[in-house]
Structure 1
Amino acid sequence: MASKKSKQFDPVGTLQDIESKFEMFQVLNEEGEIVNKDADPNLSDEELQELMRRMVYTRILDQRSISLNRQGRLGFYAPTAGQEASQIASHFALQKEDYILPGYRDVPQLIWHGWPLHQAFLFSRGHFKGNQMPEGLNVLPPQIIIGAQYVQTAGVALGLQKRNKKAVAVTYTGDGGSSQGDFYEGINFAGSYRSPAIFFVQNNQYAISTPWELQTSAQTIAQKAVAAGIPGVLVDGMDPLAVYAVTRDARKRAVDGEGPTLIETLCYRYGPHTMAGDDPTRYRTSETDSEWEKKDPLVRFRKYLEAKDLWSEEKENEVIEQAKEEIKAAVKQADNTPKQKVTDLMEIMYDEMPQNLKEQYETYKAKESK
């Protein structure tokens, strides 16, 4: 009788073998050159130009939002510069019927999904009308609680699955969010039911001031998908073509009944965590900033399009001027929105107001009428 070959007990080797398989996926290098022809998503010239237009517009929106915040004309704001490829290219692979469950930095995806710009400004100001989404817009308001949107996404994805909808639920968090319990619960639940979800972790290197290496001893966040039994992808988050390609693939598999995907986009936020007093110079070096500036997704994509004669300084300036005009109009519309009152909040909170609030309602109504 042939003896069975014994296997060496090597848990460390098993871990190292798994980690070695999570290599960063890239299509476009820092010089705007295709380095992975087989993975090129082959977007049309018009699609490439539209993707660039949205990325440029989003960079201007970020710059103007920072200025408005400093002027006291916006409230809470989390800068997005540096994450345009991660945010906009991933959204570019989605469809209108898909649901987006964003984190607080993911306002751009909501805007390109159909959230009116003036409502985004109202949301930042804490006005309840900012959260009143237009009919047919499949989004939830930006989630402030870190990682909570992951569990919600698993639920929305299960609902789409039960209703046989050819759509996906998509969510975003940062590297810090991957340390939350909701992160694991969300990917595990969706994996168990093979629900149509795409979970993004935008690894912009810092959870406020904490470098991502201190979030986990794992070599990648993408490998955490293994524990949930779902595919995980590590992608160059500064490369719009790579981000688009992996998102399109994940969406197709999801609507085909193959379950969720965890996508880690390696990127960088050029600004502070939020405009609420964070100072990135206290925990980041100028050398690190300079190194990541060389990977700027707009610069990289601009070089690629210019080489194909699809982009020019004139085209970019047209987008910049359009963005400035539309932002100016949206701010004016937000300014002209009636100020919210205490009684407004009472009226929209309950179908039938409790007796104790009815009494308070009359008190506030009298004050507001003066």
Structure 2
Amino acid sequence: MRQTWRWFGPKDQVTLQDMRQAGVEGVVTALHHIPTGDIWTSAEIARRQKEISFHHDGTSSGLQWEVVESLPVSEDIKKQQGEWRQHIDNYKASLRNLSDAGIDVVCYNFMPVLDWTRTDIKHRLPNGGTCMRFDWHDFIAFDIHILKRAGATEEYSEALLDIAASRYRAMDNAAQKRIVRNVVYGLPGAAEAFSLDQVRQHISEYAILSENGLRNNLIAFLEQVTPLAQELGIRLCCHPDDPPFPLLGLPRIMSTEVQYSKVMDAVDLPANGITLCSGSLGARPDNDLPRMMQQLGDRVHFLHLRNVARESKDIRGSFYESEHLEGETDMVALVQAVLKEEKQRRESGRMDCSIPFRPDHGQDILDDLHRKAQPGYPAIGRLKGLAELRGVISALTYIDNTRA
């Protein structure tokens, strides 16, 4: 398992030197400043590679750009409208340029309108640290009383509507602005951020798409780009929905093992793969992460290892981001399944036998509370998670070797 870390470029409050001191082996990043749908040029890719190669003082960092997260898919492609065909051509051009630069793992997602969604990015923990949280009742209050989405009230029970109304009445103007900022935050570091009017417009345009319709559009996209990725030696890996259940009346198509299997079977090429995110998928109680790794492992090209604590047994419910070895996912069992998959790959002669992973997100603790890094991406909280995961990997590897 190759230890990587997400970096948001030179303005990231967590530096490359911080990453080296944490023991990181490779960098996960993206060209967030380039508008979605545009081509990632060779010059821009090379500039980011150079930025990664050196510390601020000009000395070598010893790090390389190993995983793209993310090469974003435009809303036009997801909806198959507007400039979607041109955007697919541009996506292919970006893949060619990334391949020429020696980068062969590309993460993306197919979530409509909103990327990962949280209602609170500084939820206070009993130990004084903070973490990100999704509060289902606050989200409903946002949906009905702030976004005022047409038809929203019909999708919730009377009990939920009453709780949401109470939550909204308790919000002052600052709290309302804060939840809007949190919910519409989208991809960290992204070039674009939607306004509420833009969110409403996108939602109305998605109204004609069912789950099957959105899945068909993803498959159509993959039928165009996967053969090229296969030819270039690039491994595409789709990130799951976060949270893994429908929001704002929008379909979700990458939330369960069954949904992933449908897409993998529809475009049955090794380059069509999975970013297995234990935090995103773990927010849904009917997802068994170790089992998913066992069943889909040969198509897992990238791993996000984090954990969440669910606050109900419902498919749609509140949760917060826990420590990496706490929460709902049995992280030891998941890592064990990953190591088993890697062993099978080595024995079969696959070149991608070391799966890149990163300790996804992390709680803000100690100096993180003052650093103001990207939400979910503190230095010390992620270092703690990486250290814990490294310990699990070392222990399981030792046990396996002694049994051999």
Query: TM-score, length-normalised on structure 1?
Result: 0.31
Structure number with higher relative contact order (C-alpha < 8 Å, ≥ 6 residues apart):
1
| The structure with more radius of gyration | 1
Q: In proportion to residue count, which structure has more helix?
A: 1
Q: In proportion to residue count, which structure has more strand?
A: 2
